[in-house]
Structure 1
Amino acid sequence: MMVPVRCFTCGNVVGEHWEAFESRVDEGEDPSDVLDDLGVDRHCCRRMLVSHTDLVDIVAPYQ
């Protein structure tokens, strides 16, 4: 669905970085470099952004 606002493990806010992360990765930048640039340092927070699959457009017609 939508990217979680906070990290499930540590509680840091990660949702604010999603749009910048997604657009920069789509342009061809390395995800690791983008996360470093955005200041997402913890592995648990990085996992939240790297492993997220955006399913809003797929699920929306069924609601």
Structure 2
Amino acid sequence: MIIPIRCFSCGKVTGDLWERYLQLIADPRKTDGDAMDELGLKRYCCRRMIMTHVDLIEKLLKYDTIIQIPLHTRFLTLFRYTPDGRSEKKQNLGVQYS
């Protein structure tokens, strides 16, 4: 979701390179390898960090609701607790509690 700050293998800082990488590969004449060479990514572990990253935040924001429902309201709606503490399902079964 968020680009890792450092390479998992060698520890090189790669988090600041993501935006520049996207700008470089926007040019159709430039290949991924050329863009990474220009950014100074020589090791294959660092190249992996940039090349295999998937920016899921933009995709997930499409599914964000416009109206935010408070968490306690969602919880109560999900489990449908009744005021006396019994769940609606148990109440419908006719189970008597003492």
Alignment TM-score > 0.5, same fold: yes
Letter in 1 for 2:19: E
Alignment partner, residue 55 of structure 2: 54
Q: Deviations over 1:8-60 (max 9, x none)?
A: 11111011111010111122220100111111111000000011110001223
TM-score scaled by length of structure 1: 0.87
Consecutive unaligned residues in structure 1, runs of 5 or more:
none
Letter in 2 for 1:8: F
Alignment partner, residue 21 of structure 1: 21
- What percentage of residue pairs aligned between the two structures are identical? 39
Distance 1:27 1:55 in 2: 22
CA RMSD of aligned residues (A): 1.3
Larger RCO (CA within 8 A; separation ≥ 6): 1
Distance 1:23 1:37 in 2: 12
Distance 1:2 1:23 in 2: 17
**How many aligned residue pairs are there?**
62
SS in 2 for 1:23: helix
Considering fraction of residues, name the structure with more helix.
1
Larger deviation, residues 23-32 vs 37-46? 23-32
- The structure with the largest alpha-carbon Rg is 2
